[in-house]
Amino acid sequence: MEKNVDVAIIMGSDSDLPIMKDAAKFLDDMGISYEMTILSVHRCPDAASDYAKSLKERKIKVIIAGAGGAAHLPGVFAAQVPCPVIGVPILSKSLGGQDSLYSIVQMPSGIPVATVAINGAKNAGILAATMLGISNEEIYNKICDFKESLKDAVLKKNEKLQKIGYEEYLKERKE
């Protein structure tokens, strides 16, 4: 693992990677350093605990933790590392991700975990960057630019809708 990174992206299984890559991609786009790892707090608890201790020693600034099912991973890291933890509930086959969501948001007092939508890894990346932007003007400005681009995209879509009407707009979207 790298010594000087700002964000740790952790997932409980490699099956979470297709979702968690969205957090990494956003951080890449923002130029924010991160490391990514797969650790299960259920299948390899000692390794997960050792990794949590290393994050604390290295003063990682934000953790993004994705987990499905019982989804204990974000809470276990929040209990061991004194930095913000953002939980990403991963869609599960049996309960549609609600089990993951409830496991992450129902943390006991004193162990907060910020939580994004089911499969919302991109929003976790955005939230991590926003947290880092509090004390980093360069990241802050990049987040401002990103949000401005969101506004511009919506206004451009509205302009097109007004110009061509909803039927033509929908036809173009299907193509």
Kindly state the tokens that stand for 75.
């809470």
> What is the pLDDT at residue 4?
86
> What is the pLDDT at residue 108?
94
User: Is the full-model pTM beyond 0.85?
Assistant: yes
> What is the pLDDT at residue 93?
86
- Fold annotation for 7-135: Rossmann fold (3.40.50)
> What is the pLDDT at residue 168?
95
> What is the pLDDT at residue 98?
94
C-alpha to C-alpha distances, 96 to 26, 46, 72, 93, 153, nearest whole angstrom: 25, 29, 17, 6, 31
Where does the pLDDT of residue 70 fall: very low under 50, low under 70, confident under 90, or very high at 90 and above?
Answer: confident
> What is the pLDDT at residue 135?
97
